[in-house]
Amino acid sequence: MLQSALRHGLIGLLLITPALAAPTAEQRGKAFARANCARCHAIDRVSKSPLGTAPPLRSLHRRYPIDSLGEALAEGIYTGHDDMPAFELSPGQIHDLLSYLKTLE
């Protein structure tokens, strides 16, 4: 009785642990954007950018194919604009961020 309860508990735990422990690329990308981009760019589907001159991230794909953004991000995005700091992202971070951006298209 106790044993079977334990076993069920354990199986339940095994089933939910991966979902908790491993956020998807989209979730990691969103967290990254929230931490690094959100103080200037709107990072969701609806809001306005906190910094008026920064395009909402959801609109970037209209100017750039998202995959070509990956290259820019790898080289360090630098727009020559004082308001936008230069970023250099690791390949993993780029993958995550692009996965998230694709969910906004």
Q: Which residues bind ligand HEC (CB under 6 A)?
A: 36-37, 39-41, 51, 53-55, 60, 63, 69, 77, 79, 81, 83-85, 87
How far is the C-alpha of 92 from the C-alpha of 41, rounded, in Å? 21
**Which residue number, 19 or 35, has a Cβ lying nearer to ligand HEC?**
35
CB 101, CB 57: distance < 8 Å = yes
Dihedral (C-alpha) 105, 83, 71, 32: value to the nearest 10 degrees? Answer: -60
* Distance of alpha carbon 101 from alpha carbon 105, whole angstroms: 7
CB of 67 to ligand HEC, least distance (A): 13
Task: Give the count of beta carbons closer than 10 Å to the beta carbon of residue 57.
Answer: 23
- The distance of closest approach from Cβ of residue 26 to ligand HEC in the complex, given in angstroms and rounded to an integer, is 15
- Minimal distance in Å, beta carbon 22 to ligand HEC? 22
- In angstroms, what is the minimal distance from the CB of 31 to ligand HEC? 12
Nearer CB in complex with ligand HEC: 24/79: 79
